[in-house]
Amino acid sequence: MRMARVGVLVDQEAKRRCHRYGINVFESYVGEVLGHAGIPFTWLKTVEEAAGSGVDILIAAVVGDGRETAEAMLAFAERGGTVISYAGLNCMANALGCKEQPHVAVGYAQPERPPAAAPLRCVRSIPWKAGNGAASFAVQQSGQLRKDRPDGDPAGPLLMQFRVGRGRIDRWSVNIPLTIVTFQQGTGPVLGDGVPADDGTGDVDEGILKADDRVALDWALDRARTETGAPYFAYPYADWWREQLIGHLLATATSLGLTLPFLGYWPDGVTCVATISHDSDLNIDESAETTLNTLAECGIRSTWCMLEPGYSPPIYDKIKKAGHELAFHYNALDAQGGRWDEGEFRRQYDWLKAAAGVAGVTSNKNHYTRFEGWGELFAWCERHGVQADQTRGPSKRGNVGFLFGTCHPYFPIAWFDEQNRIYDVLEIGFLTQDLDLPQWSDTSVIVPFLERVRQVEGVAHFLFHQVHIHRNPNVNRAIRQVVEEARRRGFAFWTSAEINDWERARRRVVITGVDEGGAVRAQGTDAADVVVWIPLPEHRSQDGAERKFGVPCRKVVLNAEKRGVELEGSR
Ligand SMILES: [Zn+2]
């Protein structure tokens, strides 16, 4: 089966025009979604380039709204190509026999193939309605979008598929890339406090600017409660939207008689990953000793985020010797003399390198989840060689869980002032801090978190402070319970640096072809045990295929012996 050629069109003139007026072009984030899935694609910069590119599937991510665009998209489809749009192409509504409907600021979508019982929250959707009298193309509609609430008024179909000539135009009413960005990175730059929860479990309005001050989820609509009544954000909406986007793309490829290989999230044999990080906060040596012993008893290695002035020198040696990861805990908490400032970030980082006797570290987490603005933290990490950040997590017992809609590692996108570029920093957010402390949630969240993470194949990241592991028997029991429950479910425990290294290594793999015998050609890998999934047409789904993103796939493991650049897969 030939591999589908996928192009992502970001019209540079249309993009510049948005930036000139201070409008973000988060639609280009579809490239990061495909990158994380390991789906090969080509960036296209103009409509003309797209027309001559020879791609089979054209994702019209950012395009102008003129007649040239409409004509080019129709011509592309007429020749047999498939155009995909996420709430765009509004200049074509009339031509496709539809009417643009009022925009839906917040909606809930019920896809044809729902990932779970819960509908998917989305933002800034633009539904269309079929039948403006001039319908000249056959249209198939699926799924449904509702306004404001999961049970709100219907706002239109979720997906419309227009048959155009020998090809198709598929238009989602949901701006999936923008929705993913909004959940992961927030509704906007953090310039002030967020809105607190009505029930007193999420007082984010405490006067400290943090990541969770711009959460795009709803306290009432997007939380569930455990059997003990502990509230938590229950739905990894961003991850589910990734699944919708990828599943649709793969199904499109197979419907064209083509295939579109993609990469497994983890190496062969690893189904899901858990990670534990600590923040040294009070820097009590005894708490480090207790934590070292606890981790040794659990048989896991973890990530130690160090806050100035840190532990005594011998402790660092013990942490290193036990194979744990030393990391940075940047303090920008004003009440403790910290500042939100790159110079201060650098000064503290220099302190860490000297104190711990290391040339640099891979990971950072900000003390108290302090966060301001949009992307400056990522830019600082980039400039000072910190490859991974884990600041984006909850600061209150009532906003634990999937408050940023994801448990996947991802590369964040910049605001328009940096041209919406992708930062070279891997964000690995966490689900909760400590457990069974009065100010934090209880251990009843452990199993729901793990089950959900396993379902979407993400990272179950739990944060435990050494001082609580040391002083509080409940917390000491809780970390052991996390390890036990995760092990029981087949999670592998990795450090943040290991997750970072793996994600970067797998992203260097480029699948270049699949031959008739099923062997995979790929380039640029130094990672072992990379899993490649090859989507199959439905009628060939019986011979040992496994369903991924709703599509039957055959599995190939690449590079089991690290054989170099040009690799051959085997069954
Ligand atoms: Zn801290």
Full domain range(s) for residue 555: 504-562
Starting at the edge strand that comes first in sequence, how are the strands of the sheet with 262-263 ordered?
A: 262-263, 530-535, 551-558, 546-548
DSSP state of 4: P
CATH number at residue 106: 3.40.50.880
Residue 131 tokens, joined: 């039948």
Tracing tokens 């199904």 back to the chain, one arrives at: 251
* Residue 371, helix vs strand vs coil: coil
Tracing tokens 């047409």 back to the chain, one arrives at: 537
Distance 271 CA to ligand 1 centre (A): 30
Distance 83 CA to ligand 1 centre (A): 47
CA distance 396 to 203: 7
Distance 330 CA to ligand 1 centre (A): 8
DSSP state of 196: P
354 and 482 belong to one structural domain: yes
Distance 432 CA to ligand 1 centre (A): 13
Measure Cα distances from 73 to 175, 417, 477 in Å.
18, 30, 59
For residue 571, tell me if it sits in a domain: no
Starting at the edge strand that comes first in sequence, how are the strands of the sheet with 120-125 ordered?
A: 42-44, 6-10, 57-62, 82-86, 167-172, 154-164, 139-147, 104-110, 120-125
Distance 200 CA to ligand 1 centre (A): 23
Distance 367 CA to ligand 1 centre (A): 4
Question: What one-letter code names the amino acid at 297?
Answer: E
pLDDT of the residue at 402: 98
pLDDT of the residue at 303: 98
313 and 170 belong to one structural domain: no
Distance 102 CA to ligand 1 centre (A): 45
Indicate the residue among 497, 517, 535 that finishes a domain.
Answer: 497
For residue 227, tell me if it sits in a domain: no
Question: What one-letter code names the amino acid at 29?
Answer: Y
Distance 365 CA to ligand 1 centre (A): 8
Q: What are phi and psi of 472, to 5 degrees?
A: -115, 115
Residue 148 tokens, joined: 């404001």
To the nearest 10°, the Cα dihedral for 61, 67, 73, 76? -140
| Per-residue buried b or exposed e for 97-126, using 16+ beta carbons within 10 Å of the residue's own CB | bbebbeebebbbbbbeeebeebbbbbbbbb
Distance 455 CA to ligand 1 centre (A): 30
CA distance 427 to 376: 14
Distance 390 CA to ligand 1 centre (A): 12
Distance 369 CA to ligand 1 centre (A): 8
Q: Judge residue 156's burial from the number of C-beta atoms within 10 Å of its C-beta, 0-12 exposed, 13-18 middle, 19 or more buried.
A: buried
Distance 278 CA to ligand 1 centre (A): 8
Distance 317 CA to ligand 1 centre (A): 21
* Residue 155, helix vs strand vs coil: strand
Residue 154 tokens, joined: 């219907």
Distance 211 CA to ligand 1 centre (A): 14
Distance 114 CA to ligand 1 centre (A): 38
Strands 325-328 and 6-10, by their bridges, are unpaired
25 and 135 belong to one structural domain: yes
Q: Please write the tens of the pLDDT for every residue from 504-540.
A: 999 999 999 998 877 899 998 778 899 999 999 877 7
Distance 282 CA to ligand 1 centre (A): 8
pLDDT of the residue at 136: 74
554 and 482 belong to one structural domain: no
Q: Give how many domains the chain has, as a whole number.
A: 3
429 and 516 belong to one structural domain: no
pLDDT of the residue at 132: 64
Distance 70 CA to ligand 1 centre (A): 52
Give me the DSSP letters along 405-451: S--S-B--B--GGGTTPBPS-EE---SEESSSSTTS--GGGHHHHHH
Q: What are phi and psi of 89, to 5 degrees?
A: 55, 30
402 and 541 belong to one structural domain: no
CA distance 557 to 267: 9
pLDDT of the residue at 256: 95
CA distance 177 to 26: 6
Distance 427 CA to ligand 1 centre (A): 17
* Residue 63, helix vs strand vs coil: coil
Distance 440 CA to ligand 1 centre (A): 14
For residue 482, tell me if it sits in a domain: yes
For residue 267, tell me if it sits in a domain: no
Give me the DSSP letters along 209-243: -BGGGG--S-TTTSEEE-TT--EEE---HHHHHHH
Distance 281 CA to ligand 1 centre (A): 5
543 and 401 belong to one structural domain: no
Query: Given 3-state DSSP classes, what are the helix, strand and coil percentages for the chain, each rounded to the nearest 5?
Result: 30, 25, 45
Near ion ligand 1, which residues have CB within 5 Å? 279, 281, 367
Distance 396 CA to ligand 1 centre (A): 13
Cα angle 454, 457, 461; round to 5: 75
Residue 207 tokens, joined: 């006067």
Distance 257 CA to ligand 1 centre (A): 53
For residue 195, tell me if it sits in a domain: no
Indicate the residue among 497, 527, 553 that finishes a domain.
Answer: 497
540 and 474 belong to one structural domain: no
CATH number at residue 363: 3.20.20.370
For residue 193, tell me if it sits in a domain: no
End-to-end CA gap in the chain: 16
Distance 346 CA to ligand 1 centre (A): 17
490 and 510 belong to one structural domain: no
pLDDT of the residue at 516: 80
Distance 306 CA to ligand 1 centre (A): 9
Distance 29 CA to ligand 1 centre (A): 31
For residue 200, tell me if it sits in a domain: no
Per the CB < 8 A criterion, the answer to whether 160 and 139 are in contact is yes
Number of H helices, E strands in the chain: 14, 28
Distance 463 CA to ligand 1 centre (A): 10
What are 373's strand-pairing partners?
190
Could you tell me where the DSSP H helices lie in 79-223? 176-185
Per the CB < 8 A criterion, the answer to whether 420 and 413 are in contact is yes
For residue 252, tell me if it sits in a domain: no
472 and 522 belong to one structural domain: no
Question: What one-letter code names the amino acid at 421?
Answer: R
Q: How many C-alpha atoms does 490 have within 13 Å on its Cβ side?
A: 11
Distance 366 CA to ligand 1 centre (A): 7
461 and 322 belong to one structural domain: yes
- Contacts (Cβ under 8 Å, ≥6 apart) of 241: 120, 122, 174, 176, 179, 180
The list of the chain residues with pLDDT below 50 reads: 562-571
Q: Please write the tens of the pLDDT for every residue from 173-231.
A: 999 999 999 999 999 999 999 999 999 999 999 999 999 999 999 999 999 999 999 99
Distance 279 CA to ligand 1 centre (A): 5
Distance 133 CA to ligand 1 centre (A): 61
Indicate the residue among 150, 174, 198 that finishes a domain.
Answer: 174
The pTM of the full predicted model, rounded to 2 decimals, is: 0.97
479 and 516 belong to one structural domain: no
Distance 309 CA to ligand 1 centre (A): 12
522's enclosing H/E stretch is: strand 520-523
